[in-house]
Amino acid sequence: MTARLPDSVLNTTQALAHVSQAWDGDIVQRLSDYIAIPAKSPMFDADWAAHGYLETVVRNTASWIESQKVPGLTLEVVRLPGRTPVLLFEVDATRSSEAGASTQTVLMYGHLDKQPEFSGWRKDLGPWTPKYEDGKLYGRGGADDGYAAYAAIAAIQALKDQKVAHPRIIGLIETCEESGSYDLLPYVDALRTRLGDVGLVVCLDSGAGNYDQLWLTNSLRGMASGVLRVDVLTEGVHSGDASGVVPSSFRVLRQVLDRLEDSATGRLLPGIFHCEVPPERLAQARATANILGDEVYKRFPWAHYDCGGATQSVLPTTTDPLQALLNRTWMPTLSVTGAEGFPAMKDAGNVLRPYTAFKLSLRLPPLVEAATAVQALKTLLEDNAPYQAKVTFESSGGATGWNAPDTAPWFEQALQDASQAHFGAGCGYIGQGGTIPLMNMLSQGFPKAQMMVCGVLGPKSNAHGPNEFLHVPYAKKLTAAVAQVIARFP
């Protein structure tokens, strides 16, 4: 590889000023408009096509990108029959391979679909009512992940502003991520030749350990999800008449879950859901624990209550920062995210309910294969039901997690330089407990590509929950850092 081209040097101060102007001048307002549209992912809006919200946010984003007049950019909304749309943009390379530069492609990724509303929003906030306050843009989807397409274009424009030579760049913005990206693989297959030879992926759909430095995600958990249902009766009956004879569907469900989880500790019992933590990830987790300390667990909105005149709060599963990091990134965990078969409290009479159903979300360690886990989960839950109750587990699918490839020297240096330039601190490495199905797909398709998985979801940003916000000052610096790393692509 030849020496770095002189015109690949980016003035970092000028780049940050350029992207900050873009954010303040237009992007915040565009994202406010985006937040107001309830573009829920197909899993949460079965009539998404008829409602047209996903189509609207794709069309609005495409219109804004076209209005930026990025030199060399072409854009297309790609639609496969019966699937959610994908926004694809391409920017021609501006450097010559004759000078020794790579002909590989930089792929930039984000998504425009959203999680549902959830409850508990602050009285003056709401999922579809954007509010900009103290540098934070509140509302559903702004941080997860509506900002990504806008930040990607702003980063490219920062390169264009300084006439910095750059590689071919392609953007892939989907609308099915919050449903597990089940529509994405067909698009990747259909667009494979257009994607080209991807050498760097910039995924703007992840988190940050704090707002004080650039953070690179080095692993993502996978997921197996579905509905566990226990039926014991055809209709509800008087609880005084039947209890003690008819087994409670809730108790049967608890017994079935006991096969999966130690309810005292939360540890998943079957070994098939576990894996060893690679030594490099363990070392990085130790370094991150030293940076973040008890903020690893204090960042969450713990419940506080009065206990004999003293304020008390719920305790975390561990107060050891390293163990807390490993628990949320490399350990399997079970969450019950929904329930059915229960009347509302005000309507709950003395009735033994005929069935109980739980929606389960099982987070899998990065190296556990999802399809195998889903099948093992179904067998474990359904076999040999107590009292011969009807126990069914209907899978909603699964997504295998991801472990980052080895970091190339140029990439490591570019990350550290970008973090120092825009934050005054080195780049941190952190695993994320969430799932981005695309990353595993891309790692398999482009095993030698470097993966810049990053994002704005820092402390208290609360994606998926109430009061989600986008930290705009951090987003500006992240945008400039992305531009700098692309400029350093060999």
The Cα–Cα gap between 432 and 443 comes to 17
pLDDT tens digits, one per residue of 60-82: 999 999 999 999 999 999 999 99
**Cβ neighbours for 58, distance < 8 A, ≥ 6 positions apart:** 77, 85, 87, 112, 173, 175
Q: How far is CA 459 from CA 114, 137, 142, 303, 420, in A?
A: 20, 14, 15, 16, 21
User: Does residue 446 surpass a pLDDT of 90?
Assistant: no
Q: What integer pLDDT is reported at residue 4 of this predicted model?
A: 41
Q: What integer pLDDT is reported at residue 99 of this predicted model?
A: 58
Q: Quick one: average pLDDT of 237-246?
A: 97
Q: What integer pLDDT is reported at residue 117 of this predicted model?
A: 97
Q: Quick one: average pLDDT of 361-377?
A: 97
The Cα–Cα gap between 300 and 33 comes to 28
Q: What integer pLDDT is reported at residue 8 of this predicted model?
A: 62
Per residue in 259-293, is it b (16+ CB within 10 Å) or e — as a string?
Answer: ebbeeeeebbeeebbbbebeeebeebbeebbebbe
Give the domains, in start order, of the chain with CATH numbers.
Answer: 6-220+401-487 (3.40.630.10), 222-281+321-399 (3.30.70.360)
Q: Quick one: average pLDDT of 160-176?
A: 97
User: Does residue 437 surpass a pLDDT of 90?
Assistant: no
Task: Tell me what the pLDDT averaged over the chain comes to.
Answer: 95
The Cα–Cα gap between 393 and 354 comes to 17
**Cβ neighbours for 316, distance < 8 A, ≥ 6 positions apart:** 297, 300, 302, 324
Q: What integer pLDDT is reported at residue 389 of this predicted model?
A: 98
Q: What integer pLDDT is reported at residue 9 of this predicted model?
A: 84
| Amino acid identity for residue 64 in this structure | W
pLDDT tens digits, one per residue of 253-298: 999 999 999 999 999 999 999 999 999 999 999 999 999 999 999 9
Look up the pTM and report it: 0.91
Q: What integer pLDDT is reported at residue 3 of this predicted model?
A: 39
pLDDT tens digits, one per residue of 21-75: 999 999 999 999 999 999 999 999 999 999 999 999 999 999 999 999 999 999 9
Q: What integer pLDDT is reported at residue 1 of this predicted model?
A: 37
- Secondary structure letter of residue 409 according to DSSP: H
The Cα–Cα gap between 177 and 406 comes to 26
Share of the chain above pLDDT 90, in %: 92
The Cα–Cα gap between 151 and 483 comes to 10
